[in-house]
């Protein structure tokens, strides 16, 4: 399957900040002059001296890493991964069952189905029909990308609400030293604070989603994406615990790295190019080697601008799923689907 994706520059492709103090720190300046013991403000200043606006990460205490919390995080990682793939397997079954039910009812009671369809079409507004038509024209990758992007944009908007920032710091930033260590492992995957951060990650996700879904399907893709998000967070936890460097992490790049690594390993001869430099092309196989090499160097040398451990964790899981998981683990869902089918029972005629 021939693919041609556009790869963003390294810094914008894998933006997952480990040290948020360096990424999000903003400085505000005011022109002041002291005259007769009073503060004089510039013309743009208000009568009252405004409070200093602090980015929520500036005053955050990283805390102490309790080794016992890593066991808790490990159990959550395994449980969430198994649950994710089980859930998408049931989703796949229900989609097939729904189509089979429609076909069965059409064959046994065509008149009833026809009357029901006509009634629904009459009730459907013109706007809804237009939206349905536009949605059906989208590729499978775009149909899954839009909800994922919407979730990320929603969380991005929540960061803009000052009253929610303590809640966001607690649950939408992963930190092995925090009180809450489990749910932030997945919630931080949908969390971005800066506009550039979310743009870069969503651009890369959109670029590679069609290729990955073309090979995996929507259900397996979503299971891989969600599981990689948690696994990359756990890899970040382990690295921070070993190095005794607690800190906040957020961003979707760990999960996106799994998708990127899967596509590059599945189609290593695909020619990629850099945004704004389309004249320079390189193979996908070479790209993933360079990217993972840079992340490995970042882990060894202690670079702190990106969460390189999370990147490596996500990429490693993507490679594992390409060479082993999709061939040997995904087919085992048949056991679960068989039990679920018995629980659901035969298709009803009515």
The catalytic residues are: 253, 311
> Quick check: 217 and 225 in contact, CB under 8 A?
no
In whole angstroms, how large is the CA radius of gyration of the chain? 24
**Beta sheet of 277-283, edge-to-edge order:** 6-7, 271-274, 277-283
Q: How many residues does the chain have?
A: 350
**∠ CA 273-277-279 to the nearest 5 degrees?**
70
Q: Read off φ and ψ for residue 277, nearest 5 degrees.
A: -130, 60
> Quick check: 288 and 207 in contact, CB under 8 A?
no
Q: How many CB atoms lie within 10 A of CB 142?
A: 15
Distance CA 188, CA 211 (A): 25
> Quick check: 149 and 142 in contact, CB under 8 A?
no
> Quick check: 306 and 254 in contact, CB under 8 A?
no
Contacts for 232 with CB less than 8 Å, ≥ 6 apart: 189, 254, 255, 257, 258, 310, 311, 313, 314, 317
What tokens were used for 91?
């989703």
Q: Read off φ and ψ for residue 213, nearest 5 degrees.
A: -70, -30
Q: Side-chain half-sphere of 311: how many Cα atoms within 13 Å? A: 27
Question: Which SS3 state, helix, strand or coil, does residue 59 take?
Answer: coil
C-alpha closest to that of 306 among 61, 13, 14 = 14
Cα 188 to its chain centre, rounded Å, is 8
- Using CB atoms within 10 Å of the CB of residue 119, give its burial: 0 to 12 exposed, 13 to 18 middle, 19+ buried: exposed
């Amino acid at each position: 399957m021939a693919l041609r994706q556009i790869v963003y520059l390294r810094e914008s492709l894998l933006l997952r900040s480990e040290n948020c103090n360096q990424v999000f720190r903003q400085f505000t300046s005011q022109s002041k002059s002291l005259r007769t013991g009073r503060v004089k403000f510039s013309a743009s200043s208000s009568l009252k001296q405004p409070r200093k606006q602090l980015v929520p990460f500036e005053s955050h205490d990283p805390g102490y890493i309790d080794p016992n919390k890593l066991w808790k995080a490990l159990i959550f990682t395994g449980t969430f991964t198994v649950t994710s793939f089980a859930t998408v397997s049931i989703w796949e079954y229900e989609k097939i069952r729904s189509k089979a039910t429609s076909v069965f009812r059409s064959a046994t009671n065509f008149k009833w189905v026809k009357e029901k369809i006509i009634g629904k079409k009459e009730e459907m507004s013109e706007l809804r029909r237009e939206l349905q038509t536009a949605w059906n024209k989208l590729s499978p990758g775009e149909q899954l990308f839009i909800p994922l992007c919407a979730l990320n944009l929603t969380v991005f908007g929540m960061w803009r609400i000052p009253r929610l920032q303590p809640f966001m710091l607690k649950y939408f930033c992963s930190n092995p030293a925090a009180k809450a260590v489990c749910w932030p492992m997945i919630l931080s995957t949908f969390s971005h604070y800066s506009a550039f951060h979310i743009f870069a990650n969503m651009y890369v996700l959109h670029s590679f989603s069609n290729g990955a879904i073309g090979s995996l399907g929507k259900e397996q893709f979503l299971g891989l994406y969600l599981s990689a998000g948690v696994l990359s967070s756990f890899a970040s936890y382990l690295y921070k615990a070993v190095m005794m460097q607690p800190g906040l992490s957020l961003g979707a790049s760990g999960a996106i790295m799994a998708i990127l690594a899967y596509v590059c390993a599945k189609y290593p001869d695909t020619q990629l190019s850099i945004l704004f430099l389309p004249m320079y092309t390189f193979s996908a196989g070479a790209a993933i080697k360079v990217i993972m090499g840079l992340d490995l160097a970042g882990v060894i040398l202690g670079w702190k601008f990106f969460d390189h451990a999370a990147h490596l964790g996500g990429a490693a899981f993507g490679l594992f799923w390409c060479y082993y998981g999709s061939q040997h683990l995904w087919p085992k869902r048949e056991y679960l689907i068989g039990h679920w089918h018995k629980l659901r029972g035969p298709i009803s005629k009515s």
